[in-house]
A = this chain, B = another copy of it.
Amino acid sequence: MTSPSRNPARLLPVDPTTRAVALDLYERVAGSPIISPHGHVPPSLLLDDEPYADPVALLVTGDHYVTRLLHAAGVDLADLVVDEAAGRDARTVWRTLAAHWHRFAGTASGYWIEEELDGVFGITTPLGPDTADAIYDEITAVLVRPEFRPRALFERFGIEFLATTDDPLDDLSEHAALAASGLPGRVVPTFRPDRYLDPDAVGFAGNVERLLAATGQPGDFAGYLGGLEDRRAHFIRHGAVSTDHGVEEVFTVDLDPAEGERLFQAVVAGSATAGERRAFRGHMLVQMARMSVADGLVMTIHPGVLRNHSSATHARFGPDTGHDIPVATEFTRGIRPLLERYGLEPDFHLVLFAVDETTSSRELAPLAGFYPSVYLGAPWWFLDAPDAIARHRAAVTETAGFYRSSGFIDDTRAFLSIPARHDTARRVDAGFLARLVVEGRVRMGAAERIMDDLVDAIPREVFKL
């Protein structure tokens, strides 16, 4: 049996009629430039352009999709950190991955990594205990070559637009340097102010203090809002097109200025009740919408994840290491105050993501199918996998069509996986469209236009590129 990634029709429907149509559609966009309007690649990766140290740095470290499943298999997260002093070199970690590789069969991560091994390194030998060392050596041998450095890969991947995610007080000097560096594509920051908006965030009061100091604003609510506006303007000057908001629940509330001032003083003083902190958090989303109406930044919300579910691993390994677990999410009532205020404003764009699939047909497609400001975020995090993407299209398209969706978002800090992720979405979308064609629901000409637009016109419109 040949490598699965050698199958040119991989991920496409197996029925021959449908597959032929799907291949036609896929091939239209297979080589199209990548537009990545939301993700977590650090700009330093592309600015410093250091060679990857080893296969572990390339494919394991920092990829919490991978580390979480190894942890579930009983591997201590510490054993995935290269630490020569502790006698744990990269090869040892790699062997751990290989020993558990069968556990990744059928997962999104397993598929992407096989795509990367094949697509970037030409390795089609199955990973496993017997092949771990040979594959390790094969990758290591080429990582030092110029064409495997991040900037060369960026070019090879055909990335035309890449948004990072950044702290509002970041001076964005790396982005400025990157913009001046001649990279063949735009890399822009994204304004992610959670820790300045959520009274329950670690160090919230200090964060606000630093914001006010950095922007020279007075210590009242108006000064706080002015400071945020000031930093948004800074981001816009550095090319930012959007703001991003990670919240556990979708809760928005419109308040009069006096109540805003009162809550602001209470949350900064640390005297606010849980209800007041929630109201402040919910009101700040409305304020962010107000600022987006004014300055044009696209607003994206990524809700519904309970962060750091395991306090013990959070204490040992910090955030973003695999212990974030989704919760049921409600949009219809929660987002209403924001939409009542700004939902019909011209040129306001609000992209709603979800990790709760039940909201797709029930809430998000109806909202995006009515409000001109609301766009359906692509399947996210636990859902950016072939079957989940297909379920998402099936759940939303009959109500909202294709033109209310955001286009694909990779949302990744695993730089090497970007092409595999976008290719996955293109293949699944081609397969979905092909089914509509062969079922007589969409004409081929219409399907071709949609396919083209999904990777180009649609993300450009949604993210105002």
List B contacts of A394 (CB < 8 A): 387, 391
User: Contact partner of A388 among B3, B18, B398, CB < 8 A?
Assistant: B398
Query: Chain B contacts of A446 at CB under 8 A?
Result: 102, 105, 126
CB distance from A456 to the nearest CB of B (A): 14
Chain A residues numbered 366-412 whose CB sits less than 8 Å from any CB in chain B = 366-372, 374, 382-383, 385-388, 391, 394-395, 397-404
Looking at A145-153, A294-302, A357-365, the stretch in contact with chain B turns out to be A357-365
A292-318 with Cβ < 8 A to chain B: 306, 309-313
A330 touches B327 (CB 8 A): yes
Within the complex, the shortest CB–CB distance from A191 to chain B, in Å, comes to 25
Whether A322 contacts B441 by the Cβ 8 Å rule is no
Residue in B15, B71, B309, B382 whose beta carbon sits within 8 Å of that of A361 in the complex: B382
Quote the shortest CB–CB distance from A367 to chain B (angstroms).
6
Do B404 and A72 have beta carbons less than 8 Å apart? yes
Contact between A362 and B371, CB atoms less than 8 A apart: no
Q: With A107-B399, A399-B385, A403-B102 known to touch, is A323 a contact of B370 (CB < 8 Å)?
A: yes
* Contact yes or no, A332 B309, CB < 8 A: yes
A268 CB-CB contact with B under 8 Å: no
- Range, interface on chain A: 35 or more
A-B contact pairs, 25 of them (CB 8 A): A4-B442, A9-B440, A10-B439, A12-B439, A14-B17, A68-B369, A72-B374, A72-B404, A102-B446, A103-B403, A103-B404, A105-B402, A105-B450, A106-B442, A106-B450, A306-B336, A309-B332, A310-B340, A327-B332, A327-B333, A356-B362, A358-B358, A361-B382, A386-B398, A391-B394
Q: Which residues of A contact B (CB under 8 A)?
A: 1, 3-7, 9-12, 14-15, 17-18, 68-69, 71-74, 102-108, 110-111, 126, 306, 309-313, 322-328, 330, 332-333, 336, 339-340, 343-344, 355-358, 361-363, 365-372, 374, 382-383, 385-388, 391, 394-395, 397-404, 435-447, 449-450
